[in-house]
Amino acid sequence: FDFGNKPVLAFLIDVVAITFILVLLGEVIPKVYANQLNIGFASFMAIPMFMLNKVLSPLSISLVSMTSLIEKRINKRGHDVSLEDLKKAIDITSEQEQRQEDKQMLKGIVNFSNTSVKQIMTSRVDTVAYSIDTPLSGLVEQINENRYSRLPVYEDSLDNVKGVLYIKDLIPNLNKEDSFKWQKLLRKPYFVPENKKIDDLLREFQTKKVHFAIVVDEYGGASGIITMEDILEEIVGDINDEFDEVEVFYSKLDDSNYVFDGKTPITDLTRIIYISDDYFDYFRSDIESIGGLIVEIAGRIPRIGEVYSYSNLEFKIESADRKRVRRVKITIHNRAEAEE
């Protein structure tokens, strides 16, 4: 038949009619026939299927074996990629004119799942908290002085945190008398252990819709606090808004000399002077600050003017008292080796 002048009719016959015939003859009729005469049809097809199985089994076995081999090799390569391999890949890439800030951000992402709450929390001695017995006027004065949006409230000591005060909850009541019971505005505190990984804590913050937690040690005492901002800073670096007063805890003298506050976390030290994140792994299980590191190296509280060395770093004590190291000068003698 010639349907050259009737393309629509040709399309209907080619597609609709032929498809209908194929489905009817290839699907419907054989299935109906096999269903009605199942035993006879199975007996009829048994011998041809047995012969096809014998003929095609070598090809089938070869294909299955090849697929299994490929899957094993892919899985093996995937499991061989460790955090150290990723760090080395970042170091190699960074040599190709990549900024140090980008390098540190990538390393922060790689180390994210291995960083514990204790390593990045605000320690107890630096935590600002309010007593539950503080009158409203005194509370407002402290809030204006410290300028934090969320703060823990304790009874007797920081080991007995009663709740967390959100400043936005207090704003509508700022003009009330001291008799106002601001304690009723407290929200339930969220406690986390020191050894919790920050990637798990980030997911919990997102699930529970909280941005603030009290860090407790193995005995239940308060070790400090941690916020959502602390966690995010491990990836993107320090975050400062328009109300933050930039706290200067170090100064850079030149590419090889720095002066640090003794309470500076070791994680911040490695990020600022661009050295390997595992540089202090020998101490990291117990030591969290530069001051603690020097005390561990010296075996005692050092005196002003004393000098200590660890690997390629030299620590000179510039300020200290009977309890802790306050300020230290750090000199990098061989930066290339320190960055490895």
- The beta strands (E) that lie in 245-336 are given as 250-254, 257-261, 307-310, 313-320, 325-332
d(CA 225, CA 124): 7
Span 176-193, average pLDDT: 91
Within-domain flag for 92: no
Q: How high is the pLDDT of residue 233?
A: 84
Final residue before a domain boundary, out of 236, 256, 286 = 236
158 and 68 in a common domain: no
User: What would the pLDDT profile of 210-235 be if each residue is shown by its tens digit?
Assistant: 999 999 988 889 999 999 988 888 87
17 and 130 in a common domain: no
**Are the C-beta atoms of 167 and 153 separated by less than 8 Å?**
no
Within-domain flag for 99: no
| Residue 31 pLDDT grade (very low, low, confident, very high; cuts 50, 70, 90) | confident
259 and 218 in a common domain: no
Domain at 155, CATH number? 3.10.580.10
Indicate the number of domains in the chain. Answer: 3
309 and 226 in a common domain: no
Cross-strand bridge partners of residue 319: 327
Of the candidates 121, 104, 115, the one whose C-alpha atom is nearest the C-alpha of residue 235 is: 104
119 and 232 in a common domain: yes
Residue with tokens 């975050």: 239
pLDDT exceeds 90 at position 164: yes
pLDDT exceeds 60 at position 59: yes
Final residue before a domain boundary, out of 199, 215, 236 = 236
Within-domain flag for 45: yes
pLDDT exceeds 90 at position 11: no
Task: Give the domain extent around 262.
Answer: 248-338
Residues 6 or more apart from 242 whose CB is under 8 A from it?
none
Q: b/e for 110-125, b at 16 or more Cβ within 10 A?
A: bbeeebbbbbbbbebe
- How big is the CA angle at 321 (ends 274 and 284), to the nearest 5 degrees? 35
In percent, how much of the chain has pLDDT > 70? Answer: 82
Span 15-41, average pLDDT: 83
d(CA 16, CA 38): 31
Within-domain flag for 64: yes
| Higher-confidence position of 235 and 140 | 140
Domain at 271, CATH number? 3.30.465.10
Q: How high is the pLDDT of residue 337?
A: 58
166 and 141 in a common domain: yes
Q: How high is the pLDDT of residue 335?
A: 65
Final residue before a domain boundary, out of 174, 209, 236 = 236
Within-domain flag for 100: no
Within-domain flag for 270: yes
226 and 261 in a common domain: no
Q: Where are the alpha helices (DSSP H) in the chain?
A: 7-11, 18-23, 29-36, 38-80, 83-94, 100-111, 117-120, 136-146, 167-170, 198-208, 228-236, 266-272, 290-298, 335-338
pLDDT exceeds 80 at position 294: yes
**Are the C-beta atoms of 258 and 250 separated by less than 8 Å?**
yes
Residues 6 or more apart from 305 whose CB is under 8 A from it?
316, 317
**Are the C-beta atoms of 315 and 307 separated by less than 8 Å?**
yes
User: What would the pLDDT profile of 263-289 be if each residue is shown by its tens digit?
Assistant: 888 888 888 888 877 788 777 556 778
- How big is the CA angle at 339 (ends 79 and 259), to the nearest 5 degrees? 135
Within-domain flag for 67: yes
**Are the C-beta atoms of 162 and 154 separated by less than 8 Å?**
yes
Phi, psi of 158 (to 5 degrees): -65, -15
In percent, how much of the chain has pLDDT > 90? Answer: 23
| Residue 86 pLDDT grade (very low, low, confident, very high; cuts 50, 70, 90) | low
268 and 320 in a common domain: yes
253 and 212 in a common domain: no
265 and 171 in a common domain: no
Could you tell me the end-to-end alpha-carbon distance of the chain, in angstroms, rounded to an integer?
80
Q: How high is the pLDDT of residue 90?
A: 59
125 and 230 in a common domain: yes
d(CA 48, CA 30): 16
Which amino acid is present at 209? K
d(CA 88, CA 106): 11
Within-domain flag for 94: no
318 and 296 in a common domain: yes
Residue with tokens 């489905």: 23
